[in-house]
Amino acid sequence: MHKREFTVEGEYRYNRAGPARWIISHVMRYPHFPIAVTLMAIAANWLNSRAPLYLGRAFDHVISPERNVRTLLILALSLLGFRLGTAAIDVVRGVISEFVAQRLERDAREELYISLLGKSQTFHSRQRIGDLMARATNDVRQLNLMFSPGVRLILSSLMSLIMPILAIGSISPKLLLGPLVFVVVLGLTIWHYTRQLNPVAEAQREQFGEMNAGLAESVSGIEVVKATAQESQEQARFSESAARYRDLFVKQGEIQARYLPLLAYYIMLAASFMHALLLYLNDTITLGSVIAFMGLLGLLQFPTFISIFTFTLVELGVAGAERILELIKAETELDENRAGREQSIRGEVVFENVGFGYNGSTVLRGISFRAQPGETIAIVGQTGSGKSTLTQLINRIYDVDEGRVLIDGVDVRDWNIASLRSQISTIEQDVFLFARSIADNIAFGVGKQVTRDEIERCAREAQAHDFVLSFEKGYDTEVGERGVTLSGGQRQRIAIARAFLTDPRVLILDDSTSAIDSATEDQIQAAMHKVQQGRTTFLITHRLSQIRWADRILVLRQGGLVDQGTHDELIRRCSAYRRIFARYEVDLPPLEGEACSLGDG
């Protein structure tokens, strides 16, 4: 069982040992339907193979001296019954097959989405969004097409081989020579065809993901592309990627062009017809039997013709399944710890000699401090000193490599991750808003159990209420993907309102007022000062007006905690702190010795 940060109660478990087993386990979630489709395929093709036999009997009866209209009428009505029965079964079989195919697509997409929600931030940081979208949409859709019409037609084709051959055997076993040789040739040809097609199908799915990822990246960064006049470069890059995708389809076409079963079928048809005529001339079979035999051979054309199409769909489906399964089975670093501690947080946060790094590169080392419940802790340092990373260890976006992070005396790894994160709110500099209404974005952290009055109260506290009402639809205004229709300051105020509504016990503010003007910031700071009462707050900012409010300030440099204390204490004794904020004060007090070299603290 792989680690996951999120699971669904009663989630269906599929066999993930390989793409084929995974697909079969999805289909067999509804076992009655595949069985019904198989039985219907047998019945439909049995009826279909009866028609040529009855046609041969009718011909023999017509040329017989003892012919009568009643027998011919019975034979004609039987032929009509066979055709109507086949048509009716095909309709029902098509509906059932489509139902299974749609459920397969839905279930696979749901399984993949749940899996992605359960992956850690480290995993998602390594992924290209466009490739993820290709797997979640196009590859999953390919599973649908693989089953219907792919597998449905393959099953029908298989029965279209078996039933006519059984019927031919009932006419005369001597007639089986040509059809049986053809079936062997067809099987070998299909085996060779799928071996050639498989790597091409896998490459097609991979290249589609690459092309989609490049497109998504260019569209997401369109502002940079236009600002640097790089449209031609991006167009050339996409054209090159699209050309590689095209070339793979050309290669698929070359493989299909060398597919020879149809030629083998027509050779078998001519040879078998000659064989049947020789048997007729030797009085081994009747003329009606020859006609029935040729009619049954005609039924073999369908599986021969359709196989090139159906097996292509199956190979593409299996290749897509392999890419989906690769994502689902990918290792992730964190586990939700469902049996972990679930209780209200008081807000005591302790770092004990914490070390952490990305991909072998150290980001934090030897970090130790204690934040009492209700304290405001400011974190300062140069860019790249590890400020944001430090706060991401509190709510287990990442796990420490060394030491421990404790909340209320309990290691964060021993908390239920959902319980832990639901009581910690983070407002980041790069605010993410969903393409939903403003009200939905504010209420995102608490779900739909919140009233409009509560949403508006939090918006007022975040100084967002007035600009929201300036829109024609007010709180029902759609903000667009990532909130692009709003200014940076407006997005940040909505994020602050969202944090207020969650009523967190620990509040992390990562440069959350950087896009807000000074007048609005003063109003928000007054509201935030009120909200912070009784909550442990971690504040990352370079604004001296905010830092001075902090009960304690942590000074980071090159991943180490070099000093901590109040603003007045640090400005007197820590040269690293003085350098960060020298631009804010003209007259700094004399430095009372160097007390914050790397490793002190």
Q: Could you tell me the pLDDT band of residue 67, with boundaries at 50, 70 and 90?
A: confident
Please give the C-alpha separations between residue 413 and each of 6, 341, 347, 400, in angstroms, as whole numbers: 15, 10, 16, 9
Tokens at 212, concatenated? 């989609």
1 has a pLDDT exceeding 50: yes
Mean pLDDT over residues 102-125, rounded? 91
478 backbone φψ class: left, alpha, beta (φ>0; ψ -120 to 50):
beta
Average pLDDT, the chain: 88
2 has a pLDDT exceeding 80: no
598 has a pLDDT exceeding 60: no
Listed in sequence order, the residues at least 6 apart from 174 whose beta carbon sits closer than 8 Å to its beta carbon are 279, 284
Tokens at 316, concatenated? 């593409």
pLDDT of 250-279, one tens digit each?
A: 999 999 888 888 889 999 999 999 999 999
Please tell me the distance from the alpha carbon of residue 85 to that of residue 47, in angstroms, as a whole number.
7
Query: Which residue from 426, 388, 577 is spatially nearest to 507, judged by alpha carbons?
Result: 426
pLDDT of 518-577, one tens digit each?
A: 666 666 666 566 666 678 999 998 777 778 778 999 999 889 999 999 988 888 888 888
**% of the chain at pLDDT higher than 90:** 61
CA 356 to chain centre: 29
**CB contact at 8 A, 552 and 375:** yes
Neighbouring CB atoms inside 10 A of 233's CB total 12
363 has a pLDDT exceeding 70: yes
The sign of the torsion formed by the CA atoms of 310, 314, 319, 320 equals positive
Burial label for 312, CB within 10 Å (0-12, 13-18, 19+), is: buried
For the ranges 338-347, 371-380, 440-449, the lowest mean pLDDT is seen at: 440-449
pLDDT of 198-233, one tens digit each?
A: 999 999 999 999 999 898 888 888 878 888 889 999
Please tell me the distance from the alpha carbon of residue 428 to that of residue 212, in angstroms, as a whole number.
28
**CB contact at 8 A, 552 and 566:** yes
In the prediction, which pLDDT does 541 show? 83
Mean pLDDT over residues 119-129, rounded? 85
Do domains 19-329 and 427-503 share one topology? The answer is no
Listed in sequence order, the residues at least 6 apart from 592 whose beta carbon sits closer than 8 Å to its beta carbon are 572, 573
Query: Which residue from 137, 238, 143, 255 is spatially nearest to 193, judged by alpha carbons?
Result: 255
Q: Count CA within 13 A, CB hemisphere, residue 163.
A: 26
599 has a pLDDT exceeding 60: no
Mean pLDDT over residues 288-314, rounded? 93
Helix (H, G, I), strand (E, B) or coil at 109: helix
Listed in sequence order, the residues at least 6 apart from 265 whose beta carbon sits closer than 8 Å to its beta carbon are 182, 186, 300, 301, 304
For the ranges 80-94, 236-250, 290-304, 477-491, the lowest mean pLDDT is seen at: 477-491
Burial label for 489, CB within 10 Å (0-12, 13-18, 19+), is: buried
Strand partners, 509: 427, 539
Mean pLDDT over residues 112-130, rounded? 88
**CB contact at 8 A, 6 and 114:** yes
Residue type, 538: F
Task: List alpha helices for 5-68, DSSP H.
Answer: 19-27, 32-62
CATH of 427-503, one of 3.30.413.10, 3.30.1370.60, 3.40.50.300, 2.60.120.10: 3.40.50.300
Listed in sequence order, the residues at least 6 apart from 204 whose beta carbon sits closer than 8 Å to its beta carbon are 245, 248, 249, 252, 316, 319
In the prediction, which pLDDT does 520 show? 63
39 has a pLDDT exceeding 70: yes
pLDDT of 322-361, one tens digit each?
A: 999 999 998 887 888 888 999 999 999 999 999 999 877 8
For the ranges 14-23, 168-177, 442-451, the lowest mean pLDDT is seen at: 442-451
End-to-end CA distance of the chain: 42
Mean pLDDT over residues 223-247, rounded? 91
Strand partners, 361: 358
Please tell me the distance from the alpha carbon of residue 514 to that of residue 463, in angstroms, as a whole number.
15
Which residue in this structure is represented by tokens 């030897």? 366
**CB contact at 8 A, 243 and 250:** no
**CB contact at 8 A, 385 and 446:** no
Tokens at 167, concatenated? 């019927």
Q: Domain spans of the chain?
A: 19-329, 427-503
Mind giving me the DSSP string for 419-473? HHHHTEEEE-SS----SSBHHHHHTTTTTT---HHHHHHHHHHTT-HHHHHTSTT
CATH of 19-329, one of 1.10.150.20, 1.10.1740.10, 2.60.40.1930, 1.20.1560.10: 1.20.1560.10
Helix (H) or strand (E) holding 291: helix 287-299
